[in-house]
Structure 1
Amino acid sequence: MTTDERWIEGEAWETIVANVPLVSVDLIVRHDGGVVLGKRTNEPAKGEWFVPGGVVFKNESLTDAVHRVARDELGCDVTIVESLGAFEHFFDTSEVDGVETKHYLANAFVVDPDTEEFTSDDQHAGLRVFEPPFDELHPYVLRYLDAASDSLN
């Protein structure tokens, strides 16, 4: 998880995850004719190749959240190419003990990184560039890639 002092932990986080949708940003990172995905080490979607992303903090703009997530999860800065709008994600798992589901209102952005090299964070077992066809990816990732198809060509 993040070390940002705005991060909520413990019982407060459990209450939030159990009761409200989380506003987040997800990044469709264009790179070498494909997209950069991370293999998740935590729920939801543990073990899946998924787009980098994270919750939006109170009083943080979506744009600022995009840049923070890129720095935290990829070790780089990015240029925003396109906003794809909001996507609703319902997961049957959560990283919080006793909370069986997680609900996100994810704001998706197509971005270009400012580097050729990425640094993975502790939420990912590694990063990899995936090129078309994108057949075996998580359904939510496929929805993003479909929505971003004009920006990926």
Structure 2
Amino acid sequence: MTGWIPDDDWRTIVAHTPIVSVDLLVRIDEGLLFGKRENEPLKGAWFLPGGRVHKGETRTEAVHRVAREELGLDVEIVESLGAFEHIYDTADVDVADGKHYLANGYVVDVVGGELRVDDQHADLRVFASPPEPVHEYLKNYLHAADSLPEWP
């Protein structure tokens, strides 16, 4: 299972279907790891690492794959935050109505690996409080997380 979808097929999917994805609240030391996005939606913004769930892959399998592929990390799931609706006006492909995610949030701890930046992010950084401006979708995750009591 590679997860690769040809560009024309991906454009059709984004134009007509919500994307099932996972977003990771990665706890490192006294903070959370954020990535500065290279792609739309939210290009240039600090947001959580994440990615789509591949066909035949469980959400928890996707959490571990995304952590390895995007961050170089092995993680342990601490808390499942449930599903969230994310609807954006922009997308990574040229479509009229933006992008719609059914995003599943997870709090995770790092148990191994070596942090590295991939092509999805311009930078990765640990923050002790949310980076400004705080996107409403990020606020929703932080409010739902019982395992992050020190975060507003």
Fold equivalence (TM over 0.5): yes
Alignment of 1:110-149 (within 5 A): 110-115=107-112, 117-132=114-129, 136-148=133-145
Q: CA deviation at 1:54?
A: 0.3
What stretches of structure 1 of length at least 5 have no aligned partner?
none
CA distance in 2, matches of 1:108, 1:133: 16
Deviations 1:59-88 (A, max 9, x none): 101111000000011101100001000000
Aligned counterpart, 1:87? 84
Does 2:54 align with 1:77? no
Q: CA deviation at 1:98?
A: 3.5
What stretches of structure 2 of length at least 5 have no aligned partner?
none
TM-score, scaled to structure 1: 0.91
Distance 1:75 1:20, change over 3 A: same
Does 2:46 align with 1:44? no
Q: CA deviation at 1:5?
A: 2.5
Root-mean-square deviation (CA, aligned residues, Å) is 1.6
Does 2:26 align with 1:29? yes
CA distance in 1, matches of 2:47, 2:60: 20
- Tell me if structure 2 keeps the 8 A contact 1:24–1:106: yes
Identity, in percent, stands at 60
Deviations 1:25-62 (A, max 9, x none): 11011112111000001101100101010000111011
2:148 equivalent among 128, 144, 152: 152
Question: How many residue pairs are counted as aligned between the two chains?
Answer: 149
- Tell me if structure 1 keeps the 8 A contact 2:14–2:95: no
- Tell me if structure 2 keeps the 8 A contact 1:67–1:78: yes
4+ aligned runs moved over 4 Å, structure 1: none
- Tell me if structure 1 keeps the 8 A contact 2:19–2:101: yes
The SS at the match of 1:89 is: strand
The SS at the match of 1:95 is: coil
Distance 1:123 1:133, change over 3 A: closer
TM-score, scaled to structure 2: 0.91
